[in-house]
Structure 1
Amino acid sequence: MNAELVLQELEALGKERLKKMYGTNGAQEPFYGVATGEMKPIAKKIKLNQPLAEELYATGNYDAMYFAGIIADPKAMTAADFERWIDAAYFYMISDYVVAVTLAETDIAQEVADRWIVSGEELRMSAGWSCYCWLLGSRPDGEFAADKLAAMLEQVQRTIHDVPERTKFAMSNFIYTVAVSYVPLHEQAVETAKAIGQVEVNRDKPKSNFLNAASNIQKAIDKGRIGFKRKYVRC
């Protein structure tokens, strides 16, 4: 199957309701509004196909870029490839849910994510913190250095109120993910969340919102989810 045929199949699956929602979140034309679950049958036919993934990602079509993440072969991608992908990620649904997710299935994930976190660029930073969320939520605790993650929690506590908007979301999710999925630092993550309190986002909109990691962590505790690990990162 080539890129043109994939685009035709994706277009046929588009839903106006989803297209409107994606557009509200930042997707730019051209895109179709395809539910991610609807992509699975096409992905099963193709399996992993890095050349096709590259071709689809390069279209700039959000649905095609998302699908590219599903069929990409992370092991075949280099750090330079991920830099190219994050350069083309023009809004958070691509940076955090396509690029960061794909990166999380590689051996270079932490190395690349660490660079992005200190880049000073909103979506790179967001993708870097998000990648750690995907990693912590799926890999054994033993793959991570506790002192490194502890320092990252301290960094979040110092800076979260001053970083760009999307980075705030990713940082807040990082605190939550450490508390829920990385048991050795559960207590520190809980204390970090309490120290930070509510984090204001969307200040440029008529009504701003607030993130509250402490509240979300408590809900996870109440549901007995501490220690949760997902089986798969990509859908």
Structure 2
Amino acid sequence: MNLQTVMQELEALSKERTKKMYISNGAHEPLFGVATGAMKPIAKKIKINQSLAEELYATGNYDAMYFAGIIADPKAMTESDFDRWIDEAYFYMLSDYVVAVTLAEADIAQVVADKWIASGEELRMSAGWSCYCWLLGNRLDVEFSESKIANMIEIVKNTIHVSPERTKSAMNNFLYTVGVSYLPLHEMAVETAKTVGPVEVKRDKKKSSFLHAFESIQKEVDRGRLGFKRKYVRC
């Protein structure tokens, strides 16, 4: 399959309701409005194709960019490739659910994510923290430096309430993920989540949402999901 045929297949799967939902979350034209689950049959046909993924991502079409993440080869991507992708990720559904997810399957994931977290740019920071969520929820605990993750928890505690909105959300999710999926620092994450308390995330033209990492962690503990790891990062 080439760029043209994939774009035609994606367009054929478009739904106006889905398109409106994506737009309400920050997407803008061009986009078709394709449910992510509907993309699976096309992905099965293509499997992994990095050159096609690059072509799709470069279209600027949200659905094509999302699909690019599904068929990309993260291990073939360099730091500059990921920087280019994050530069073009214009809202959180791309930064946190396409670029961060793809990065989480690369060997250079932590190196790139660390730089993004330190960048001071909202969506770069959001993608960096989100990448760690995907990593911690999938990789073995021994693959991480406990002191490094502890230091990151301290950064969350000290800066979450004054961080940009999307970064706040990703930092809160990081705290939750450590509390559930990274056993060495479960207690630290729980105590920090209590200290942080509810986190207000302001959203354009919508009511603020309030995130409670402590409550979310407790729900998972009550369900017996402490230590939960995903089998795969990408669907």
TM-score w.r.t. length of structure 2: 0.98
Aligned equivalents of 2:7, 2:177: Cα separation in 1? 35
Q: How far, CA to CA, are the matches of 2:22 and 2:69 in structure 1?
A: 17
The answer as to 2:23 corresponding to 1:18 is no
Match of 2:159 in 1: 159
Which sections of structure 2, spanning at least 5 residues, go unmatched?
Answer: none
State the match for 1:148 in structure 2.
148
How far did 1:209 drift? 1.8
CA distance in 1, matches of 2:30, 2:203: 28
Give the structure 2 partner of residue 84 of structure 1. 84
Counterpart of 2:64?
Answer: 64
Q: Structure 1 residue 136 and structure 2 residue 112: aligned? A: no
d(CA) in 1 for partners of 2:64, 2:233: 19
Indicate the residue corresponding to 2:27 in structure 1: 27
Partner of 1:52: 52
Superposed CA offset, 1:66-124 (max 9, x none): 00000000111000000000000000000000000000001100000000001000000
User: Counterpart amino acid of 2:111?
Assistant: E
Within 5 Å, give how 1:200-215 maps onto structure 2.
200-202=200-202, 205=205, 207-215=207-215
The 1-side partners of 2:136 and 2:204 are apart by 32
The Cα offsets for residues 10-32 of structure 1, whole Å up to 9 and x where unpaired, read as 00001111111000001110111
Gaps of at least 5 residues in structure 1 are none
Q: Match for residue 118 of structure 1?
A: 118
Distance 1:5 1:119, change over 3 A: same
Residue 207 of structure 1: how far off its partner (Å): 2.8
SS of residue in 2 equivalent to 1:201: strand
The 5 A counterparts of 1:87-98 are 87-98=87-98
Secondary structure of the 1:208 match is strand
**Distance change >3 Å, CA 203–CA 53, structure 1 → 2:** closer
Q: What is the rounded CA distance, in whole Å, between the counterparts of 2:184 and 2:206 in structure 1? A: 40
Give the drift of 1:153: 0.2
Task: Name 2:217's counterpart in structure 1.
Answer: 217
Aligned twin of 1:175? 175
Aligned to 2:198: 198
Runs of at least 4 residues of structure 1 off by over 3 A? 203-206
Distance of 1:125 and 1:207 partners within structure 2: 23
The alpha carbon displacement at 1:232 in A equals: 0.5
- Helix, strand or coil: the match of 1:26? coil
Seq. identity, %:
76
Aligned partner of residue 209 in structure 1, secondary structure: strand
Amino acid at match of 2:64: A
State the Cα RMSD in Å.
Answer: 0.9
Q: Tell me the equivalent position of 2:2.
A: 2
Between the aligned partners of 2:227 and 2:204, the Cα distance in structure 1 is 37
CA deviation digits over 1:140-176, x for unaligned, max 9?
0000000000000000000000000000000000000
Q: How far off is 1:204 after superposition?
A: 5.6
2:186 matched to which residue of 1? 186
Cα distance in 2 for residues equivalent to 1:157 and 1:38: 39
Deviates more, 1:19-28 or 1:198-207: 198-207
CA distance in 2, matches of 1:118, 1:98: 20
Which letter maps to 1:28?
H
